[in-house]
Structure 1
Amino acid sequence: MLARVSTGGRLGQDELRRLRDTGARAAEQDVPMRGVIDLYLSATWLAWPSLPGVQAAAGTNALRHIGEAVFRATDAVITAVAEGYEEAQRWSLRREESFRREFVDDLLDGRRLETLAERAERYGLRLAGSYVVVVASGPERFVDGGPVTRQMDSVIDRNPTSRDVLVTTKNGLLVCIAPEARGEVEEFVGRVTEMLRPDDRWRIGIGRPQRGPGGAVRSFEQARQALHIGQRLQLPGHVHLASELLVYQVLIRDRAALADLVEVVLEPLRMARTRPDTLLKTLSAYFEAGRVATAAAQKLHVGVRTVTYRLNRIEALTGYSAFDPQQSFTLQVAVLGAQLLGWPEDS
């Protein structure tokens, strides 16, 4: 091609298409881009002295025109090769992202468990071991390729000991799957805390360690429930461990029974002139204060008589007294159930 260009010829479209195919093959064979460019530039200067046009050039002016034609042709060749290379890389990246997304969804949804262990090795996970899943929610949904996800990926990539860690997203949550016995969970939590601390609307849920291909989905569900419980109950702090919230998980496990309890005990509150959520907040504050009306009043920024009046009104409507130990336990569980289920807003 260079010989033809040096004597006045031009590169054809078929030649440029073949060059793009060459670039694509180089990408598929993992040849570095710099090696491809160096190959063509080296071939150009090596061929220069023997090109027919150069050897037959009559004077400096003719040689300059040949040089310009050769440089333009070399530029077009490298551009075509690079286009093919980059297109193949983009396709490979999209395919890899698709494979990775499919694997993550199968792992966290508990699908195709028979092939998970083998596919997990591709991403550095050995599912025969014990893993913990951590989920984080923020002021905005997390997405693959988003700024926080990219930062976490780069942190994991730079750490040679984090080979068994996978950072991804699922349903708008940032997800980390890490071995139980190492410090990756603490590092992930610390990094997320650093990145999201300026905005107070973030929380983290940590599942219990689980083993085997089906363990990740169990730990993921536990982490997600811990996050949900922390948000619904407005628990103190930003990090919630499933192992410390087992009693709430027991409550929410049978949603139908919990919904029945809430409906039977608390539905009469809808008949009060005071909004049901106001009465619920009063009950919640009263129980959190250790059943001390004075402390509950301070928490609610109202008078003690207001708290007492509301508690008496609740007893009149529901038949359950907050002052009776047994009946107050039923009320307390019903209040927790209402918060977990989003009653009355979600009812």
Structure 2
Amino acid sequence: MAIKSDISESRTPADIVKTLRSGIGPVSEEVIEEIQARIPEYARPSDEIYIKVVRMAVEQAIEGFLDRIESPDAPWDPEPFRMIGKGEAAEGRNLEPLQAAMRLGARVGWRRLTELAGPLGLSPQSLYDLGEAIFVYLDQLADAAAEGFDEARAHAAGEMERRRGRLLDLLLSVPPASPDAIADLAKAAAWRLPRTVACVALDDQHGACRVPPLPPDVLTGAGRALPCLLVPDPAGPGQAQLLERALRGHRAAIGPAVPLTAAATSLRWAGEALDLSRRGVLPRGLLRCEDHLATLVVFKDEELVSALAEVRLAPLAHLRPNQQDRLAETLLAWLRHGRGAGEVAAKLHVHPQTVRYRLRQLEELYGDQLADPDIRFELEIALRARQAVMPGR
């Protein structure tokens, strides 16, 4: 956008611009002194390279302003000021110091113009037009710097996200990557190495896994074959509650806390729990593997469990399905909660006499097997697996 002005009958005379150019050096020095005195972020008196960069930026700004006053229709290149905005992002600052520096520079420039108005023969209207042009130009410099700043921040965020994605791949690799490789990539990704981690397996049944907002130290892998999160120090203060709030309403499984080098194991267990949830073996919603370890163990090798069930539940096989269900339920309660009919009846919400009758049936079916602790253990595994896959459990 060119700056149009009514200065001295629509254009500043060349001799006036020439006079203003001759004063760029002293004005630049004054602007730099003001900036360094009033804006702590730019106060680096011992850094000669930095001062040189600041001086170059100030002189460029003043030269650019005079060029646009002299030739308002000439194209303007915002790239130098976009680069300045990128530099601010690289320094880790926001745009407030730069905007303050620009305002200071504009004030100094306006002050010098008012001092030169008389010697240059500028009318009040011409002086007013120059002042307006300064602030239009200031807005455009600020816009260019903001554009560069946003671009640099977006690029940095994207690069950091890519580094964290590579770090997650490394942490979940099998066999585990070397500690040195993990430490180097973690440093590049600005990620503090924790002592323990827990992985969360996320449901992706519809092919569009949405990762909820989470703290920045949680690594996310929404695009992996098994979408997941990696949570550092899961047992830390407030971590469990924070994770539960973030994942409320999602179907997900939280793996157990493990050393950093065993992250892949935590994810594997979480994935197995999520699969059992999809099949209806485990509840829907948010699961913690630690609450379902027995079921995870039982279903680790389903063929073996099926073979065990076929052997240990054979005495029930000839009964009608509803009889099998009642006796299996009673036997599991007896194995889990004690051998008194009263305790079993309380768990099943039936009359103790009903439990005694069923237990006599079970003694007839199993005989001395129920006295063998190894058989009782295997029976409990088989009955737990049967209960887990029963419809409507």
TM-score normalized with structure 2 length: 0.57
Of the candidates 308, 332, 339, which is equivalent to residue 261 of structure 1? 308
- Report deviation, 1:333: 1.2
- C-alpha distance in structure 2 between counterparts of 1:34 and 1:113, whole Å: 43
Of the candidates 229, 232, 236, which is equivalent to residue 177 of structure 1? 232
Contact 1:135 1:227 in 2 (8 A): no
* Aligned amino acid, residue 343 of structure 1: V
The aligned residue for residue 68 of structure 1 is 132
- C-alpha distance in structure 2 between counterparts of 1:18 and 1:226, whole Å: 55
Contact 1:134 1:185 in 2 (8 A): no
Moved more, 325-334 or 70-79: 325-334
Of the candidates 46, 68, 72, which is equivalent to residue 9 of structure 1? 72
- Report deviation, 1:89: 0.3
- C-alpha distance in structure 2 between counterparts of 1:323 and 1:305, whole Å: 23
- Report deviation, 1:46: 2.5
The percentage of aligned residue pairs carrying the same residue is: 23
- Report deviation, 1:113: 0.8
- Report deviation, 1:275: 9.6
Once the two structures are superposed, residues 288-345 of structure 1 have per-residue CA deviations (whole angstroms, 9 ceiling, x without a partner) of: 32244432332233334555676788899xx657982335433211123346xx5246
The aligned residue for residue 85 of structure 1 is 149
Contact 1:107 1:214 in 2 (8 A): yes
* Aligned amino acid, residue 257 of structure 2: G
The aligned residue for residue 46 of structure 1 is 108
* Structure 1 residues 168-317: aligned runs within 5 Å: 168-169=219-220, 175-178=230-233, 185-189=235-239, 191-192=241-242, 195=245, 206-208=256-258, 210=259, 214-218=261-265, 221=268, 251-262=298-309, 265=312, 272-274=320-322, 281-304=329-352, 307=355
Give secondary structure in 2 for the equivalent of 1:324. helix
- C-alpha distance in structure 2 between counterparts of 1:107 and 1:7, whole Å: 60
- C-alpha distance in structure 2 between counterparts of 1:97 and 1:47, whole Å: 43
* Aligned amino acid, residue 139 of structure 2: D
- C-alpha distance in structure 2 between counterparts of 1:269 and 1:283, whole Å: 14
The aligned residue for residue 330 of structure 1 is 378
Larger radius of gyration: 2
Contact 1:108 1:216 in 2 (8 A): yes
- C-alpha distance in structure 2 between counterparts of 1:266 and 1:41, whole Å: 85
Cα pair distance change 1:337/1:229, threshold 3 Å: same
- Report deviation, 1:108: 2.9
- C-alpha distance in structure 1 between counterparts of 2:323 and 2:72, whole Å: 87
- Report deviation, 1:107: 0.7
Q: In structure 1, list runs of 5 or more residues that go unmatched.
A: 154-165, 179-183
* Aligned amino acid, residue 132 of structure 2: E
Contact 1:269 1:314 in 2 (8 A): no
- C-alpha distance in structure 1 between counterparts of 2:270 and 2:157, whole Å: 30
Contact 2:298 2:305 in 1 (8 A): yes
Q: In structure 2, list runs of 5 or more residues that go unmatched.
A: 1-63
Contact 2:363 2:370 in 1 (8 A): no
Cα pair distance change 1:73/1:290, threshold 3 Å: same
Cα pair distance change 1:313/1:58, threshold 3 Å: farther
- Report deviation, 1:197: 12
Give secondary structure in 2 for the equivalent of 1:9. coil
Contact 2:253 2:270 in 1 (8 A): no
The aligned residue for residue 81 of structure 2 is 19
- C-alpha distance in structure 1 between counterparts of 2:95 and 2:302, whole Å: 57
TM-score normalized with structure 1 length: 0.63
RMSD value over aligned CA atoms? 5.1
- C-alpha distance in structure 2 between counterparts of 1:281 and 1:142, whole Å: 38
Contact 2:176 2:261 in 1 (8 A): no
Q: Give the number of aligned pairs.
A: 307
Cα pair distance change 1:99/1:124, threshold 3 Å: closer
- C-alpha distance in structure 1 between counterparts of 2:93 and 2:239, whole Å: 38
Cα pair distance change 1:109/1:306, threshold 3 Å: farther
Give secondary structure in 2 for the equivalent of 1:98. helix
Contact 1:142 1:173 in 2 (8 A): no
